[in-house]
Amino acid sequence: MCIKKIAMTQNEIIQKTSDYIKQEFGDDSSGHDWWHIYRVWKNAITICRFEKADAFIVELAALLHDLDDWKFNESEDETPHRAKAWMQQCGVDSHVNEQVCQIIMHVSYKGAQVENKMKSLEGFIVQDADRLDAIGAIGIGRAFAYGGYKNRPMYDPESSNQMHATFAEYKNSKSATINHFYEKLLLLKDMMNTAAAKKIAEQRHEVMLNFLEQFMSEWEGKNIQ
């Protein structure tokens, strides 16, 4: 007897996807753990309400955006195979699947001088949500978590900042964590796409500037009385 498969609702797909991602990223210690994805998801939902975009596409892309991330996959193929397969398994419409995959492929920062190839409003929202989690107090914590994960020094006074012109340069960089602030994090405020994200980024940017000033003072022993 053939049993007909019952299609899931959009809410059921989102819930199932969040459960799946929570399981996949529960043990991450690089700053790209489940709670990072959770924050990106929630920020994306908030921005989406202001922008009146397709919430289903935004939520799926936010939840799946790190599943095929180049930082944790050695393949040179940028196609998000795991995310695509997961959506197919959930019965997501092929058109939606393709839109989500396009967002995932272009969501990541790829260098200071590399063109942002994101095209859709939904993509701008997810990209902004992801970038907001890279700045401010949480962004500072995540930067050092990732630096430790990659065995990079906190700071090297003899190392100059690099404004990477290509993705290959950025991907192969071994910069110290403090350099990463100047090569990426401090640039994100002016790279936000939506009005809501731009407003949030202003305050988080100031947090990072204050942190760097304090860091340098302590590094040089200026705070010692």
Is 223 a residue whose pLDDT tops 70? no
- pLDDT value of residue 94: 96
Is 2 a residue whose pLDDT tops 70? no
Is 75 a residue whose pLDDT tops 70? no
For the chain, what is the total number of helices (H) and then of strands (E)? 10, 0
**Distance (Å, whole) CA 169 – CA 163:** 9
Domain extent listing, the chain: 10-219
Phi-psi region of 91 (alpha: psi -120 to 50; beta: other; left: phi over 0): left
Is 69 a residue whose pLDDT tops 90? no
* CATH-assigned architecture of domain 10-219: Orthogonal Bundle (1.10)
Express as a percent the part of the chain with pLDDT over 70.
Answer: 94
- pLDDT value of residue 198: 97
Cβ(107)–Cβ(37) under 8 Å? no
Lowest mean pLDDT among 27-36, 81-90, 120-129, 206-215: 27-36
Handedness of CA 140, 141, 146, 147 (dihedral sign): positive
pTM here is 0.91
Is 1 a residue whose pLDDT tops 50? no
- pLDDT value of residue 72: 73
- pLDDT value of residue 183: 95
* Axis crossing angle, helix 34-51 with helix 121-132, rounded to the nearest 10: 130
- pLDDT value of residue 148: 94
Is 182 a residue whose pLDDT tops 80? yes
